[in-house]
Amino acid sequence: MIKRQIYQYKLYQHRKNYQLLLLIRLAWEIYNHCLNLHRRYYRWYGKSLPLFVLQKHLSKLKQLEKYHAWKQLGSQAIQDIVERIDTGYQKFFQGKNQRPPQLKSLHKYKSITLKASEWAFVGDNRINIGGQVYKFHHSRPMAGVVKSVTIKRNRLGDWYIYFLCHVAETASERTMSGYNASFDFGVKDFLAARFKMQTLPFPEFLRQYLSQKVKSAKPQQGARVTLARLCQHMANLRRDFHCKFTKQLHDHYDCILLEAMESKDWQRVFGQKLTDLSLDDFVKCLELLVMKLGSMDKINTIDKIDKAKLSWLIPPSLMVDAEGFCLKNQSVNSP
Protein backbone atom coordinates (compact mmCIF):
# COMPACT_ATOMS: atom_id res chain seq x y z
CA MET A 1 0.00 0.00 0.00
CA ILE A 2 1.30 3.44 -0.97
CA LYS A 3 0.87 6.45 1.29
CA ARG A 4 1.79 10.10 0.79
CA GLN A 5 4.23 11.88 3.07
CA ILE A 6 5.50 15.47 3.00
CA TYR A 7 8.99 16.51 4.05
CA GLN A 8 9.67 20.15 4.93
CA TYR A 9 13.08 21.82 4.74
CA LYS A 10 14.20 25.41 5.08
CA LEU A 11 16.13 27.10 2.28
CA TYR A 12 19.36 28.94 2.97
CA GLN A 13 19.15 32.72 2.89
CA HIS A 14 20.74 33.89 -0.35
CA ARG A 15 20.33 36.68 -2.85
CA LYS A 16 19.35 34.08 -5.47
CA ASN A 17 16.09 33.57 -3.58
CA TYR A 18 14.89 36.72 -5.31
CA GLN A 19 14.39 34.56 -8.41
CA LEU A 20 11.83 32.53 -6.49
CA LEU A 21 9.98 35.73 -5.67
CA LEU A 22 9.80 36.50 -9.40
CA LEU A 23 8.33 33.04 -10.07
CA ILE A 24 5.71 33.58 -7.38
CA ARG A 25 4.86 36.95 -8.94
CA LEU A 26 4.29 35.25 -12.30
CA ALA A 27 2.14 32.57 -10.64
CA TRP A 28 0.15 35.32 -8.91
CA GLU A 29 -0.51 37.07 -12.23
CA ILE A 30 -1.66 33.81 -13.84
CA TYR A 31 -3.87 32.99 -10.85
CA ASN A 32 -5.73 36.31 -10.91
CA HIS A 33 -5.95 36.21 -14.72
CA CYS A 34 -7.57 32.76 -14.61
CA LEU A 35 -10.03 33.88 -11.94
CA ASN A 36 -11.07 36.85 -14.06
CA LEU A 37 -11.59 34.53 -17.02
CA HIS A 38 -13.77 32.25 -14.88
CA ARG A 39 -15.91 35.16 -13.76
CA ARG A 40 -16.25 36.59 -17.26
CA TYR A 41 -17.15 33.19 -18.73
CA TYR A 42 -19.81 32.63 -16.08
CA ARG A 43 -21.22 36.11 -16.61
CA TRP A 44 -21.51 35.56 -20.37
CA TYR A 45 -22.62 31.92 -20.59
CA GLY A 46 -24.00 31.17 -17.12
CA LYS A 47 -21.80 28.10 -16.54
CA SER A 48 -18.31 27.23 -15.36
CA LEU A 49 -15.28 27.49 -17.58
CA PRO A 50 -14.08 23.97 -18.50
CA LEU A 51 -10.64 23.02 -17.22
CA PHE A 52 -9.14 21.86 -20.51
CA VAL A 53 -10.48 24.87 -22.40
CA LEU A 54 -8.69 27.20 -19.99
CA GLN A 55 -5.44 25.21 -20.18
CA LYS A 56 -5.53 25.34 -23.97
CA HIS A 57 -6.22 29.08 -23.86
CA LEU A 58 -3.24 29.74 -21.57
CA SER A 59 -0.92 27.80 -23.85
CA LYS A 60 -1.92 30.17 -26.68
CA LEU A 61 -1.51 33.27 -24.51
CA LYS A 62 2.11 32.35 -23.75
CA GLN A 63 2.91 32.68 -27.43
CA LEU A 64 1.91 36.34 -27.43
CA GLU A 65 4.50 39.03 -26.73
CA LYS A 66 2.39 40.50 -23.91
CA TYR A 67 2.50 37.25 -21.92
CA HIS A 68 5.91 36.08 -23.04
CA ALA A 69 7.24 36.28 -19.45
CA TRP A 70 4.89 33.45 -18.44
CA LYS A 71 7.24 31.03 -20.18
CA GLN A 72 9.66 31.40 -17.26
CA LEU A 73 7.18 29.37 -15.21
CA GLY A 74 6.90 25.73 -16.20
CA SER A 75 3.84 24.49 -18.06
CA GLN A 76 3.06 21.93 -15.36
CA ALA A 77 3.21 24.62 -12.68
CA ILE A 78 0.67 26.65 -14.68
CA GLN A 79 -1.53 23.58 -15.04
CA ASP A 80 -1.41 23.10 -11.27
CA ILE A 81 -2.67 26.67 -10.76
CA VAL A 82 -5.57 26.07 -13.13
CA GLU A 83 -6.41 22.75 -11.46
CA ARG A 84 -6.45 24.33 -8.00
CA ILE A 85 -8.87 27.01 -9.17
CA ASP A 86 -11.11 24.41 -10.83
CA THR A 87 -11.05 22.28 -7.65
CA GLY A 88 -12.01 25.31 -5.57
CA TYR A 89 -15.04 26.01 -7.77
CA GLN A 90 -16.11 22.36 -7.74
CA LYS A 91 -15.99 22.26 -3.94
CA PHE A 92 -17.96 25.51 -3.78
CA PHE A 93 -20.73 24.16 -6.04
CA GLN A 94 -20.82 20.92 -4.01
CA GLY A 95 -21.27 22.87 -0.78
CA LYS A 96 -17.90 21.90 0.72
CA ASN A 97 -16.53 25.48 0.60
CA GLN A 98 -18.39 28.56 1.77
CA ARG A 99 -17.16 30.75 -1.07
CA PRO A 100 -15.49 30.35 -4.47
CA PRO A 101 -11.80 31.19 -5.06
CA GLN A 102 -11.08 34.88 -4.55
CA LEU A 103 -8.61 37.30 -6.09
CA LYS A 104 -5.41 37.66 -4.06
CA SER A 105 -2.91 40.41 -3.55
CA LEU A 106 0.76 39.69 -4.16
CA HIS A 107 1.76 39.53 -0.49
CA LYS A 108 -0.93 36.89 0.16
CA TYR A 109 0.14 34.62 -2.68
CA LYS A 110 2.91 32.60 -1.07
CA SER A 111 3.65 29.32 -2.92
CA ILE A 112 4.13 27.54 -6.22
CA THR A 113 4.11 23.81 -6.96
CA LEU A 114 6.49 22.21 -9.46
CA LYS A 115 6.14 18.77 -11.00
CA ALA A 116 8.90 16.24 -11.72
CA SER A 117 10.17 17.76 -14.99
CA GLU A 118 10.69 21.28 -13.59
CA TRP A 119 13.29 20.59 -10.92
CA ALA A 120 16.26 18.30 -10.30
CA PHE A 121 18.45 17.33 -7.36
CA VAL A 122 22.07 18.50 -7.44
CA GLY A 123 23.65 16.63 -4.57
CA ASP A 124 22.07 15.81 -1.22
CA ASN A 125 20.88 19.25 -0.18
CA ARG A 126 20.81 21.18 -3.46
CA ILE A 127 18.02 21.52 -5.97
CA ASN A 128 17.93 23.09 -9.43
CA ILE A 129 14.87 25.21 -10.20
CA GLY A 130 14.71 27.26 -13.36
CA GLY A 131 18.47 27.09 -13.94
CA GLN A 132 19.31 28.29 -10.41
CA VAL A 133 20.71 26.00 -7.72
CA TYR A 134 19.28 26.48 -4.23
CA LYS A 135 20.59 24.94 -1.01
CA PHE A 136 18.33 23.76 1.81
CA HIS A 137 18.89 22.43 5.34
CA HIS A 138 18.77 18.66 4.93
CA SER A 139 17.70 18.01 8.52
CA ARG A 140 16.36 14.48 7.98
CA PRO A 141 16.47 11.89 5.17
CA MET A 142 13.64 11.45 2.71
CA ALA A 143 11.97 8.15 1.91
CA GLY A 144 10.02 7.12 -1.15
CA VAL A 145 9.67 8.69 -4.59
CA VAL A 146 9.33 12.47 -4.88
CA LYS A 147 6.29 13.44 -6.96
CA SER A 148 6.15 17.22 -6.59
CA VAL A 149 8.00 20.12 -5.00
CA THR A 150 6.37 23.16 -3.41
CA ILE A 151 8.23 26.40 -2.70
CA LYS A 152 6.65 28.58 -0.02
CA ARG A 153 7.51 31.77 1.83
CA ASN A 154 6.13 32.96 5.14
CA ARG A 155 5.46 36.42 6.50
CA LEU A 156 9.00 36.69 7.86
CA GLY A 157 10.54 36.30 4.41
CA ASP A 158 11.85 32.78 5.09
CA TRP A 159 11.65 30.21 2.31
CA TYR A 160 10.66 26.58 2.76
CA ILE A 161 10.63 23.67 0.35
CA TYR A 162 8.16 20.78 0.60
CA PHE A 163 8.67 17.38 -1.05
CA LEU A 164 5.58 15.24 -1.63
CA CYS A 165 6.71 11.60 -1.61
CA HIS A 166 4.95 8.31 -2.22
CA VAL A 167 6.13 5.86 0.44
CA ALA A 168 5.39 2.15 0.65
CA GLU A 169 3.52 1.46 3.88
CA THR A 170 5.02 -1.32 5.99
CA ALA A 171 3.59 -3.16 8.98
CA SER A 172 5.09 -2.24 12.35
CA GLU A 173 5.16 -4.42 15.44
CA ARG A 174 4.11 -3.02 18.78
CA THR A 175 3.57 -4.61 22.17
CA MET A 176 0.06 -4.21 23.52
CA SER A 177 -0.19 -2.28 26.77
CA GLY A 178 -3.69 -3.47 27.72
CA TYR A 179 -4.92 0.05 28.55
CA ASN A 180 -7.81 1.89 26.94
CA ALA A 181 -8.77 5.48 27.59
CA SER A 182 -11.50 7.99 26.84
CA PHE A 183 -10.80 11.73 26.94
CA ASP A 184 -13.03 14.76 27.14
CA PHE A 185 -12.00 18.13 25.71
CA GLY A 186 -12.44 21.20 27.82
CA VAL A 187 -11.63 24.87 27.96
CA LYS A 188 -10.28 25.04 31.50
CA ASP A 189 -8.44 21.71 31.11
CA PHE A 190 -7.10 20.59 27.74
CA LEU A 191 -7.94 16.89 28.25
CA ALA A 192 -9.69 15.07 31.08
CA ALA A 193 -9.23 11.31 31.43
CA ARG A 194 -12.58 9.87 32.43
CA PHE A 195 -11.34 6.67 34.02
CA LYS A 196 -9.00 8.17 36.67
CA MET A 197 -10.27 11.77 36.78
CA GLN A 198 -6.86 12.99 35.62
CA THR A 199 -6.65 16.35 33.89
CA LEU A 200 -4.04 17.88 31.63
CA PRO A 201 -3.75 21.68 31.85
CA PHE A 202 -3.01 23.31 28.53
CA PRO A 203 -0.04 25.72 28.40
CA GLU A 204 -1.82 28.79 27.06
CA PHE A 205 0.46 30.59 24.65
CA LEU A 206 0.24 34.35 24.80
CA ARG A 207 -1.44 36.00 21.81
CA GLN A 208 -0.31 39.51 20.88
CA TYR A 209 -1.95 41.79 18.39
CA LEU A 210 -0.72 44.41 16.00
CA SER A 211 -0.47 47.78 17.68
CA GLN A 212 -2.26 50.82 16.33
CA LYS A 213 0.19 52.36 13.91
CA VAL A 214 0.01 54.16 10.60
CA LYS A 215 -0.61 51.67 7.81
CA SER A 216 2.36 51.03 5.50
CA ALA A 217 4.67 53.09 7.71
CA LYS A 218 8.01 51.71 8.86
CA PRO A 219 6.93 51.28 12.51
CA GLN A 220 3.84 49.41 11.31
CA GLN A 221 5.92 47.12 9.08
CA GLY A 222 8.31 46.44 11.95
CA ALA A 223 5.43 45.61 14.26
CA ARG A 224 3.96 43.30 11.60
CA VAL A 225 7.23 41.38 11.30
CA THR A 226 7.59 41.18 15.08
CA LEU A 227 4.02 39.88 15.40
CA ALA A 228 4.62 37.30 12.65
CA ARG A 229 7.76 36.10 14.43
CA LEU A 230 5.90 35.75 17.75
CA CYS A 231 2.98 33.93 16.13
CA GLN A 232 5.33 31.53 14.39
CA HIS A 233 7.15 30.86 17.66
CA MET A 234 3.86 30.18 19.46
CA ALA A 235 2.70 27.89 16.64
CA ASN A 236 5.96 25.94 16.92
CA LEU A 237 5.51 25.60 20.69
CA ARG A 238 1.93 24.41 20.24
CA ARG A 239 2.93 21.92 17.55
CA ASP A 240 5.75 20.62 19.72
CA PHE A 241 3.32 20.14 22.62
CA HIS A 242 0.84 18.28 20.40
CA CYS A 243 3.48 15.97 18.92
CA LYS A 244 5.04 15.05 22.26
CA PHE A 245 1.75 14.45 24.02
CA THR A 246 0.26 12.39 21.18
CA LYS A 247 3.38 10.22 21.23
CA GLN A 248 2.80 9.54 24.93
CA LEU A 249 -0.82 8.62 24.31
CA HIS A 250 0.13 6.33 21.44
CA ASP A 251 2.73 4.48 23.48
CA HIS A 252 0.53 4.02 26.56
CA TYR A 253 -2.94 3.19 25.21
CA ASP A 254 -4.25 0.63 22.73
CA CYS A 255 -7.61 2.30 22.10
CA ILE A 256 -8.30 6.02 22.43
CA LEU A 257 -11.84 7.41 22.59
CA LEU A 258 -12.36 11.10 21.89
CA GLU A 259 -15.45 13.22 22.14
CA ALA A 260 -16.94 14.24 18.78
CA MET A 261 -17.57 17.95 19.25
CA GLU A 262 -18.76 20.73 16.99
CA SER A 263 -15.91 23.23 16.73
CA LYS A 264 -18.12 25.96 15.28
CA ASP A 265 -20.48 25.85 18.27
CA TRP A 266 -17.56 26.04 20.67
CA GLN A 267 -16.05 28.87 18.64
CA ARG A 268 -19.17 31.00 19.03
CA VAL A 269 -19.12 30.55 22.80
CA PHE A 270 -15.42 30.75 23.66
CA GLY A 271 -13.97 32.60 20.66
CA GLN A 272 -10.21 33.21 20.71
CA LYS A 273 -9.76 30.82 23.64
CA LEU A 274 -10.66 27.81 21.49
CA THR A 275 -8.41 29.04 18.70
CA ASP A 276 -5.47 29.11 21.08
CA LEU A 277 -6.25 25.55 22.23
CA SER A 278 -6.31 24.30 18.63
CA LEU A 279 -8.14 21.07 19.44
CA ASP A 280 -8.67 20.12 15.80
CA ASP A 281 -4.93 20.24 15.17
CA PHE A 282 -4.38 17.97 18.16
CA VAL A 283 -6.86 15.38 16.85
CA LYS A 284 -5.34 15.56 13.39
CA CYS A 285 -1.85 15.11 14.83
CA LEU A 286 -3.02 12.08 16.81
CA GLU A 287 -4.67 10.52 13.75
CA LEU A 288 -1.56 11.03 11.63
CA LEU A 289 0.63 9.49 14.31
CA VAL A 290 -1.61 6.42 14.56
CA MET A 291 -1.55 6.03 10.77
CA LYS A 292 2.22 6.36 10.76
CA LEU A 293 3.18 4.21 13.76
CA GLY A 294 0.15 1.96 14.13
CA SER A 295 0.30 -1.57 12.75
CA MET A 296 -1.56 -2.81 9.69
CA ASP A 297 -4.14 -4.69 11.78
CA LYS A 298 -5.24 -1.44 13.45
CA ILE A 299 -3.96 -2.09 16.97
CA ASN A 300 -4.36 1.60 17.79
CA THR A 301 -7.80 2.96 17.03
CA ILE A 302 -9.34 6.39 17.52
CA ASP A 303 -13.11 6.45 17.86
CA LYS A 304 -15.04 9.69 18.05
CA ILE A 305 -18.13 9.16 20.18
CA ASP A 306 -21.09 11.43 19.69
CA LYS A 307 -22.96 12.44 22.83
CA ALA A 308 -26.28 11.71 21.12
CA LYS A 309 -25.21 8.10 20.63
CA LEU A 310 -24.07 7.88 24.23
CA SER A 311 -27.41 9.22 25.42
CA TRP A 312 -29.22 6.64 23.30
CA LEU A 313 -27.15 3.76 24.62
CA ILE A 314 -26.95 4.88 28.28
CA PRO A 315 -29.34 7.12 30.21
CA PRO A 316 -27.97 10.69 30.53
CA SER A 317 -28.44 10.65 34.30
CA LEU A 318 -26.07 7.72 34.71
CA MET A 319 -23.35 7.51 32.06
CA VAL A 320 -20.60 5.24 33.37
CA ASP A 321 -17.50 4.21 31.50
CA ALA A 322 -15.59 0.93 31.73
CA GLU A 323 -13.73 2.02 34.86
CA GLY A 324 -16.87 3.01 36.74
CA PHE A 325 -16.50 6.80 36.48
CA CYS A 326 -19.75 8.69 36.01
CA LEU A 327 -19.83 10.84 32.85
CA LYS A 328 -21.71 14.10 32.84
CA ASN A 329 -23.82 14.91 29.81
CA GLN A 330 -22.76 18.52 29.48
CA SER A 331 -23.81 20.95 26.75
CA VAL A 332 -21.85 23.65 25.04
CA ASN A 333 -24.35 26.30 26.09
CA SER A 334 -24.36 25.16 29.69
CA PRO A 335 -23.13 27.75 32.24
Range with top average pLDDT, 67-71, 140-144, 301-305, 307-311: 67-71
> pTM of the entire structure?
0.71
Contact of 276 with 270, CB cutoff 8 Å: no
Chain segment 140-164, per-residue pLDDT in tens: 888 888 999 999 998 888 999 999 9
The more confident residue out of 278 and 162 is 162
Which pLDDT tens digit goes with each residue over 66-84? 999 999 998 899 999 999 9
Whole-number mean pLDDT of the chain? 76
pLDDT of residue 215: 56
How far apart (Å, rounded) are the C-alpha atoms in residues 192 and 327?
A: 11
Share of the chain above pLDDT 70, in %: 66
Who's near 247: CB < 8 A, 6+ residues apart?
289
Q: Write out the DSSP string of 16-81.
A: THHHHHHHHHHHHHHHHHHHHHHHHHHHHHSSPPPHHHHHHHHHHHTTSSTTGGGGGS-HHHHHHH
Residue 38 pLDDT > 50: yes
Q: List for the chain the helix, strand, coil content (%; round to 5).
A: 40, 20, 35
Antiparallel, parallel or unpaired: β 191-193 and 132-135: unpaired
Residue-wise over 156-165: b if at least 16 C-beta within 10 A, else e? eeebbbebbb
Tens of pLDDT, residues 92-130: 989 888 899 999 999 899 999 998 888 999 888 899 998
Please report the pLDDT score of residue 266 as a whole number: 66
